[in-house]
Chains A and B, each alone.
Chain A
């Protein structure tokens, strides 16, 4: 079975530009999580969905961040406008048994 798929794997953009990160969860998984990882703050949960519905977005840092899950096999995380402090690795993870989460390869975002 394919694991969690994320695209792009690397993204370099200029401050002020819109960035869209994409995720395809493992087939059959009903929970999807977006995380951000930095050296300073570690791995932080941004938002998670259950059956395509956002359940908890308390980790979303600002209104510049938004996430959608239009169907069971696709989710996006959008940053508009992007800032240098958004530079991080963004992971998507999915879960079928709620707590045992499986991570995608991540998107390394650099905002200059």
Chain B
């Protein structure tokens, strides 16, 4: 059973702080990693993906991947109240250049609250 684990939270941070969201996965063959943001009552929205070890930055968001330790994290700098949402981690083991498995396994998400 391939599992993706996230702390359900809530994670509460003050406005302007760095929010750190973490995700661990059980399948060592996993190669592609995604972060989705889901506002209450809305659908998941893709915000970041990462395929290689290290950091990937996009605006206020940084995804960090450590395959040896089997964890992926999302940092949100200068957190805003509009960042308050549930963040879902998703994992795939097909790689980004081929393979026959395009299934994503999702964690249950971490609820982030940014306080003004």
Contact = CB atoms under 8 A, between A and B. Distances in A.
A82 to B, nearest CB: 22
Interface residues of B, number: 22
B34 to A, nearest CB: 7
B44 A43 contact: yes
Contacts of A12: none
A42 B103 contact: no
Contacts, number: 46
B32 A99 contact: yes
A99 B101 CA distance: 9
A103 B44 contact: yes
Interface of A: 31, 42-45, 48, 50, 55-56, 91, 95, 98-106
Given A91-B44, A99-B104, A103-B43, 9 more contacts: A42-B107, A42-B109, A43-B106, A95-B102, A98-B94, A100-B46, A100-B49, A101-B104, A105-B43
